[in-house]
Amino acid sequence: MDNRNDGLWSGGPWEQDNPGYPAPPAVRVPAAVSRRPVLRPRRRGRKWPWFLGLLALIALICLSTVLLDRYFDSAPPIIRDYFPSVEEDDWRQEGSLNDQPPAIPQARLGTGVTVTLLPARGEPLSYAQIFEQASPSVVSIEAEASDGYSAGTGVVLTRDGYIITNAHVVAGARDVRVLLHSNRILPASLVGFDAVEDLAVLKVEAEDLTPAQFGDSNDLRIGEPVAALGDSLGYRATFTDGIVSALDREVEVEGVTMALIQTSAAINYGNSGGPLLNQYGQVMGINTIKIVSEDGSAEGLGFAIPSQRVKYVVDRLIAGKEIKTGVFGFSVNTYALEGGGLELVDVEKDSDSWAKGLRAGDIITAANGVPITGIEDLTRLKLGLGAGDTVTLTCLRDGESFTVSVELIEA
């Protein structure tokens, strides 16, 4: 580490005047329009000509522009990142969808390491117990790029140094360092990176790390208590509580649709790549994005990648296999029929679903033996699958039941 970084990690990560950390990619929504006007008491006073007010406004804008120009000319690169130019798009203002993997050493692939999803055991823990159990498995990540430093969070997968984080935390970096729970700082190499899935796997040389326990996100229920843990705004190991607000929530950002866990637990800049924990201290998701409104009215709208999807993507990244999002090749009515089941409204002719005989009007009642009660069931099923994987569908046509094995096609 060179002299520029002396003291950077002392007392905790990024305790600097101007810390830098990539924003969780944000979905921006327009400012809310009030339906009821704000009533204020009328002031009686001297009326001024309208053009004097216009001149005053122009003068104020000019003065503000001069002051901002002087500020940005003197600000360090990381501060500039907080105030992007107006030409940049909304995603860039809250976190960049950078698809460039970090330019760091490549770790060995095909080691056989996988994510194991465990059922919940024992009694629910208090929030204090959840933090005590999970914090040794959470690390701080610093990524150095050509234009400055950024920071985020990671989750320990194995004792020997496999670490999961968001792709946007390390995208485009030329050097990545990891601060462990023990305050050791280790350089990281890259195992795998996927910008669309917003997941990356790093590797540090260690033998005594504390792996996190991963749970099955399919076991989550709306209303369950959860907690987020990470370096919120650069403050190391910040712990926030909330509930599961929604499951299988489809969120589209820059043309990419992700099925995510929605939570009321506060997820701020720097939380990216950290765990969303259930009441048993298990990692149920990797925190990734938040909703940001222009008027600041959006609160408690954070999202995490479900552990089922994390397992599928991470397992393939470590194995060196390509990740291909799989789809059934048909569309269904959004709402389930009375008694359950989803009706097909269209089947793509170049899909395996068409080749196996599925047609519009057929009703899917079960997938892999699990009853279909809503479109969320199919969405959840696809989290752990990709193109080429096979699903057994039980269907109804004219009152007759039949079963077909359908191969997912690449989206």
pLDDT for the residue 54: 56
At residue 238 the predicted structure's pLDDT band, cuts being 50, 70 and 90, is very high
- Please tell me the distance from the alpha carbon of residue 307 to that of residue 226, in angstroms, as a whole number: 14
198: annotated active-site residue: yes
Per the residue annotation, which of 81, 198, 248, 352 is the catalytic one? 198
pLDDT for the residue 6: 42
pTM for this predicted structure: 0.75
Select from 176, 164, 168, 169 the least CA-distant residue to 209. Answer: 164
pLDDT for the residue 23: 57
Region 29-58: what's the mean pLDDT? 42
Most confident of 66-70, 90-94, 291-295, 354-358: 354-358
**What DSSP assignment string belongs to 167-179?**
HHHHTT-SEEEEE
Per the residue annotation, which of 96, 232, 272, 353 is the catalytic one? 272
User: Could you count the other beta carbons within 10 Å of the beta carbon of residue 331?
Assistant: 14
Residue 283 has pLDDT above 70, yes or no: yes
Residue 86 has pLDDT above 90, yes or no: no
Per the residue annotation, which of 81, 140, 168, 353 is the catalytic one? 168
Mean of per-residue pLDDT scores for the chain: 81
Residue 128 has pLDDT above 80, yes or no: yes
pLDDT for the residue 252: 81
- Please tell me the distance from the alpha carbon of residue 241 to that of residue 267, in angstroms, as a whole number: 10
Strand boundaries in 264-320, DSSP class E: 275-277, 283-293, 302-306
Residue 270 has pLDDT above 70, yes or no: yes
- Please tell me the distance from the alpha carbon of residue 263 to that of residue 245, in angstroms, as a whole number: 5
Residue 144 has pLDDT above 80, yes or no: yes
Which residues, in sequence order, are CB contacts of 344 under 8 Å at separation 6+?
Answer: 330, 331, 332, 358, 359, 360, 361, 362, 363, 364
H-run or E-run covering 102: none
Residue 340 has pLDDT above 90, yes or no: no
Residue 82 has pLDDT above 60, yes or no: no
Region 197-217: what's the mean pLDDT? 97
pLDDT for the residue 59: 60
CA 311 to chain centre: 14
